[in-house]
Amino acid sequence: MLENSADVRAPDIEVALPDGVDLHARPAGNVARTAMRFKSHIMLVDGACEANAKSVLSVMALGLRGGSVVRLRADGADAVAALEAVRACIVRLE
């Protein structure tokens, strides 16, 4: 159960990586930089694997390839805005 208003759990959202874009160093860095702008705890979820969206190495370790669908999860006061920003970052990856 959430203990206070800072412990907001935003509804998970799913987003597909653009075709031809794998989450190697540069795109993973873009995702991590976007996530670091927020106080919320943000995770990328691929099946049973989870990655801290603020960690380039963690994001890269998911091994996501272009066209893959990933679930975004966030907890915290700015969770909704964080998810939308990370989603927007992912769909714009090149």
As annotated, the active-site residues are: 24
Per DSSP, which regions of 1-94 are E strands?
A: 13-16, 41-46, 49-52, 69-75
Region of 82 on the Ramachandran plot (φ > 0 left; ψ -120 to 50 alpha; else beta): alpha
| DSSP H or E stretch at residue 60 | helix 56-61
Q: Which two tokens stand for residue 14?
A: 């799913």
Question: Are 78 and 35 in contact, with CB atoms under 8 Å apart?
Answer: no
